[in-house]
Amino acid sequence: MDIIGLMKRIIPFTLIGLGTLFVIAAIGWVYFDNTMRNPATLFLPEQLAGLPLSSQMNGPQAVEDFSNLHGKQFPLTSGALGIYGNQQATLWVAGAPINFMAANMVTDMHDKIAVGNSPFTPSGEYLDNKRTIYKLEGMGQKHFYFQSKNLVIWLTADAEIAEIALQQLKEFYP
């Protein structure tokens, strides 16, 4: 078979393949754009370390709070903020469109905190079931953050309940 005959066979399939990829990309773009414009609600544990969920914020309101807290927008598709007891623990849960984006957000947080321009002091990290749990201290409480699938979890808790609350969160968000 000559080159021209081969090209006549390959070019139509290549164009069909590229067209299919463009359609899939357009559908994906519309889907992610819609989910980021209308963030979903996430479920929070009803209690942590024996403390009841005393107030919460969900969906668009929680995502807006995350953005205001950090002074920038994040590609989030869901969010929740929970206060436990009399502010003995606070839980932030943010959903990214896909797992690797959540992993990148956790890595970015780690890198920015490591620079030292933060109210938090790193106090360790450990591997737990193939995910890294980062530990911090600051603002009178203990802090932990980690990834669970497409979620980024940040827990702030009083020292007396911090480890128990963390253990419960690792089970709630495996």
pLDDT digits (tens, 9 = 90+) for 141-162: 999 999 999 999 999 999 999 9
Q: Does the pLDDT of residue 27 top 80, yes or no?
A: no
pLDDT of residue 5: 73
Residue 168 CA to residue 149 CA, distance in Å, equals 17
Q: Does domain 41-172 have CATH number 3.40.1000?
A: yes
Query: How confident is the model over 83-130, as pLDDT tens digits?
Result: 999 999 999 999 999 999 999 999 988 998 988 888 999 999 999 988
Residue that is written with structure tokens 């598709």 in the block: 77
- Tokens 């932990």 found at: 144
Q: What is the pLDDT of residue 40?
A: 85
Q: For the chain, how big is the Rg over CA atoms in Å?
A: 21
Do residues 94 and 113 lie in contact, with contact meaning Cβ atoms separated by under 8 Å?
A: no
The answer to whether the predicted template modeling score (pTM) of the entire model surpasses 0.85 is no
Of 66, 170, 164, nearest to 128 by C-alpha is 170
